[in-house]
Every structure is written in C-alpha cells, then in structure tokens.
Amino acid sequence: MSLFRKSLASVGIGAARVDAVVQHDVLIPGDVLNVDVQVHGGKVEQSIDNIHLRLCCRYEEEVEVSRGDSQHRKEKVSQTCVLADWSLPYAFTIAADEVRHFDVELSLPYNTPITIGDAKVWLETQLDIPMAIDPKDQDGLTVRPDPLMDGVFNALELAGLRIRQVECEAASGFALPFVQEFEFVPVSGPYHGRWRELEVVAYRDEESLQLWFEVDRRQRGLSGMLAGLLGRGELKRHCELPANLHPQQAGQQVLEFLDQVT
C-alpha cells in the first residue's frame, strides 16, 4: 500500500500541496506583501527540495516574427515579468497530513502595475518535489494607485476624462522592463471637443512621480502613440511631481501643466 501511495503521489494524486495565504490582497506600489505559505502533507511522507514564490505581471512587447520566407513583421507578444521573488534556502521533509507554515515578505516595486483594464498582478507559489509533479498555487492581487497617482487620476476625472484603456508596454531605461500606459478620453469638461484622447505614462520612485503625456486631436491608427514614442526614446511633455506633494496639489499641478503645453 505504501509503495502504491508513493506512486500515486509522484503523479500528483494524494501528494503534498501548497497554499499562499495573503494577509492583505489589496495593495499599493511600495507596500510590503505578507504571505503565509502553507505546505500541506499528502498521503505519504515527501521530500521538498524548495518553495518558490513569485510576484508576477504581464506586459506586451513588439518582436520581429518570420513568416517563413524572407519577409518579417512585428507582432505584440505577451511577456511575464517577475516583480519580486523568494525561495526557501533549505530542503525539508513533510510527513503525511502535516502542515508547515512559512512567513514571507515581498516588497512591491514602486512601478508594480495598477490592476485596472487588462493589467493583472498575481502571486505564484510552487513546491519543488523530486521525481514528482510540482504542485502550484496562483492568487490574483488587487493593486491600487498610490496617493500621489490617485490625486492625478481624481483631477483628470473631475476634468471630464475617463480611462478607456490601460496597457503595460515594453520600454528600456526604466527599473522594470515595461511602463504602464493609461489612455483617457474626454467625455465632458474643458477638453471635450478639443482632444480625441490623452495618453499618460507614469514612473514612480522614492523621490518623485514622473509623468509623460501625449495629446491626440485627430483620428489615428490602432497602435498607441506612446508605444511608438517609447520605441524611439522620444517621450515628450514631461512633468515631475515631488513625492511629498499633497495628492490634491499633484492633480492641480498636472491640470495646469496640461493647459500650458496643449
């Protein structure tokens, strides 16, 4: 019976499993994520080589794709970025029906994507079990804007702008391999009838929030304006807000800046 159970455990039946219990699943960039990693023993004793915990998101990158001949074209491909990770520094053995707990802290980078639109952030947990199928657990997280960015969003909304699309696009020269792009459309207020859309790229660090803007007054193609600008390293209309600025002041300064440059 023991040998039979071990054979079943090797293919995942009655094997050890892992759960990541998140203390707070609504976070803001820069927060510390506290996780209780729980390993539940299966029907037999098993060796665990390691536990891997990864905080992940996806972004889009344009890559050149061959069409099978001399022609090449560019396509957007989804890439996974590991924002933070943790591994257990030792192996252990878990007995049948035993439960082991591991307390883990992961720091969210300042530019962790805000989870609106198509932007997703998740926690992936994996057990490394020799000669067996490795159990996994995946948990989605909600990431809200930090107070400074929230102040900017509130000001844009009060000015009649609504978020239409949010994308994470590959970009070089930043701490992460991508930036998050927010596309707004004016539905009322002073910009209605003047602009077709406003695109915003945000980059946050300990000292400041940096913003780049592009205003479109006419019909354009399907590709985002900032995606092209990022690819050429020609971002314009740059505004920098100090980190200690009050959120309401941040929003007001952004509106004043937009009125000056547009």
Indicate whether 221 pLDDT > 70.
Answer: no
* C-alpha to C-alpha distance for 24 and 145, rounded to whole angstroms: 15
Show the tokens assigned to 226: 């900032």
Of residues 166, 119, 111, 165, the one with CA closest to residue 141: 119
Indicate whether 231 pLDDT > 50.
Answer: no
For the chain, give the percent of residues with pLDDT over 90. 57
Tell me if the pTM is above 0.85: no
* C-alpha to C-alpha distance for 183 and 231, rounded to whole angstroms: 18
**pLDDT tens per residue, range 42-69:** 888 888 999 999 999 999 998 877 666 6
Query: For the chain, what is the largest distance between any 2 Cα atoms, rounded to a whole number of angstroms?
Result: 78
For tokens 């909304």, what's the residue? 157
pLDDT of amino acid 249: 97
The alpha-helical segments, DSSP class H, found in the chain are 2-10, 147-158, 225-232, 247-261
Domain boundaries, the chain: 2-143, 147-261
Show the tokens assigned to 135: 């159990």
The answer to whether 92 and 48 are in contact (CB under 8 A) is yes
DSSP state of 15: -
Residue 256, classed as helix, strand or coil, is helix
**pLDDT tens per residue, range 158-175:** 999 999 999 999 998 898
pLDDT of amino acid 68: 61
Taking residue 215's Cβ as centre, other Cβ atoms within 10 Å add up to 17
**pLDDT tens per residue, range 93-128:** 999 999 999 999 999 999 999 999 888 999 999 998
pLDDT of amino acid 71: 65
Task: Tell the CATH superfamily of the 2-143 domain.
Answer: Immunoglobulins (2.60.40.10)
According to the 3-state scheme, what is the secondary structure of 189-229? CCCECCECEEEEEEEECCCEEEEEEEEECCCCCCCCHHHHH
Of residues 131, 200, 107, the one with CA closest to residue 162: 200
Question: Sign of the C-alpha dihedral, residues 214, 220, 224, 226?
Answer: negative
**pLDDT tens per residue, range 186-206:** 999 998 988 889 999 999 999
pLDDT band at 24 (very low <50, low <70, confident <90, very high): confident
The answer to whether 166 and 58 are in contact (CB under 8 A) is no
Show the tokens assigned to 164: 């239409």
The answer to whether 126 and 51 are in contact (CB under 8 A) is yes
* C-alpha to C-alpha distance for 68 and 84, rounded to whole angstroms: 38
**Residue scoring higher pLDDT (217 or 255):** 255
